[in-house]
């Protein structure tokens, strides 16, 4: 038999790219999808929340000046100030941004502090009073520390702690600038406080280090460079150690505020549930401020804590905690009010 003839019109099959139909997700996509799941909102709605900045908020500082005179000075500069009914001496500035007002003389003299309204809410929920022993466990940059000193007219014993030398130096500068003479600074790991100060403090504020989702602004340069699922997991481990230590420092009937600027249930309800499940003396209280009539217009920014997310079940009482949804008025935040039996 002769050799089999070869087809002259034979074509090689096209190479198949197995990744051609694969959809790739950016970090932005992952972040928005995760937030939509947590907030139970459509992705388009979630995107709009993180594409807006909260209005500039200031609180007038009675420790360094007469608040009425400070208000007059700011109005004389043409600032449009809007009072916040549930936060004494706190105002929105509707026609100036933070970078501008931080350069004026009144700010340098400590007559007012630039602080997000969610952060102010946490201190008001703690409700510090004179003669109390109060711990701010993770205090830098000093916004809540100086607010507590201002509320108590420098008549409470406030211990402001930080773990890093650089942040402690910044904290000291802020405390001096804003006249918080009742504050003492300590450089320590917050996880050690439970052993150092058992049953000592009347009130503790733990504004825990977190993944920071409430501060994310998606219009900025590389807005998610510090955010990742890995950071959420690692933050949770530290937060659990901190809240356990913070609770041990409380006196009987003392109050602990646990707050973060993240929206992650694992870092919020999950951490609070960890404490409640392992310590029978811990219980959650209702946050009464948000039920007051003067808070009514801000309730659109507030939702209650969630008891289940992504297969995780949390303690039933975490519904007493609150989540602040990012908006043009307030950054994303979480607050739980914990008491000791």
210 is catalytic: no
Q: Does 207 show up as a binding residue in the annotation?
A: yes
Tokens 């007559």: give the residue. Answer: 111
Q: Does 265 show up as a binding residue in the annotation?
A: no
Structure tokens at 141: 């940059």
Q: Does 286 show up as a binding residue in the annotation?
A: no
Q: Does 29 show up as a binding residue in the annotation?
A: no
Neighbours of 212 (CB within 10 A): 19
Q: Does 143 show up as a binding residue in the annotation?
A: yes
Q: Are 197 and 229 spatial neighbours (Cβ–Cβ below 8 Å)?
A: no
All residues at 6 or more sequence positions from 257 whose CB lies less than 8 Å from its CB, including other chains: 122, 125, 126, 203, 204, 205, 206, 207, 335, 336, 337, 338
Q: Does 36 show up as a binding residue in the annotation?
A: no
Could you give phi then psi for residue 37, rounded to 5 degrees? Answer: -65, -40
Torsion from C-alpha of 141, 207, 128, 250, nearest 10 degrees: -130
Structure tokens at 315: 């303690």
Neighbours of 27 (CB within 10 A): 13
Return the biggest CA–CA distance within the chain. Answer: 113
Question: Which helix (H) or strand (E) covers residue 253, if one does?
Answer: strand 250-260
Alpha carbon distance 279, 340 (integer Å): 10
Q: Which of 101, 148, 210, 261 is catalytic?
A: 261
Q: Does 142 show up as a binding residue in the annotation?
A: yes
Q: Does 189 show up as a binding residue in the annotation?
A: yes
Q: Are 210 and 266 spatial neighbours (Cβ–Cβ below 8 Å)?
A: no
Could you give phi then psi for residue 309, rounded to 5 degrees? Answer: -160, 135
Q: Does 141 show up as a binding residue in the annotation?
A: yes
Buried b (16+ CB within 10 A) or exposed e, 58-73: bbbbbbbbebeebbeb
State the binding site. Answer: 138-144, 162, 189, 207
Active-site residue list: 261
State the binding site for S-adenosyl-L-methionine. Answer: 138-144, 162, 189, 207
């Amino acid at each position: 038999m002769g050799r089999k003839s070869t087809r002259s019109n034979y074509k090689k099959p096209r190479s198949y790219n197995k990744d051609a139909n694969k959809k790739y997700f950016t970090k932005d996509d992952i972040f928005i999808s995760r937030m939509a799941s947590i907030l139970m909102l459509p992705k388009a709605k979630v995107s709009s929340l993180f594409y807006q900045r909260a209005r500039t908020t200031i609180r007038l500082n009675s420790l360094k000046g007469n608040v009425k005179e400070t208000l007059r000075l700011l109005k004389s500069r043409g600032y449009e100030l809007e009072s916040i009914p549930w936060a004494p001496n706190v105002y929105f500035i509707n026609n100036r941004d933070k970078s501008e007002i931080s350069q004026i003389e009144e700010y340098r003299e400590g007559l007012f502090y630039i602080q997000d309204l969610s952060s102010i809410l946490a201190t008001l929920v703690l409700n510090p009073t004179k003669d109390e022993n109060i711990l701010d466990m993770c205090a830098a940059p000093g916004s809540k520390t100086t607010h507590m000193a201002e509320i108590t007219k420098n008549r409470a014993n406030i211990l402001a702690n930080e773990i890093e030398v650089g942040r402690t130096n910044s904290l000291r500068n802020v405390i001096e600038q804003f006249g918080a003479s009742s504050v003492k600074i300590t450089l320590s790991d917050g996880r050690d406080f439970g052993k150092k100060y058992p049953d000592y403090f009347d009130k503790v504020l733990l504004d825990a280090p977190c993944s920071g989702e409430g501060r994310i602004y998606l219009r900025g340069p590389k807005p998610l460079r510090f955010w990742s699922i890995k950071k959420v997991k690692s933050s949770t481990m530290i937060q659990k150690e901190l809240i356990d230590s913070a609770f041990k420092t409380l006196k009987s009937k003392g109050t602990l505020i646990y707050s973060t600027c993240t929206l992650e249930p694992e870092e919020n309800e999950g951490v609070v549930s960890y404490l409640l499940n392992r310590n029978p003396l811990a219980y959650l209280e209702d946050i009464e401020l948000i039920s007051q009539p003067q808070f009514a217009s801000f309730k659109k920014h507030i939702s209650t804590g969630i008891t289940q997310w992504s297969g995780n079940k949390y303690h039933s009482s975490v519904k007493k905690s609150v989540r602040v949804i990012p908006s043009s008025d307030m950054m994303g935040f979480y607050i739980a009010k914990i008491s000791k039996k």
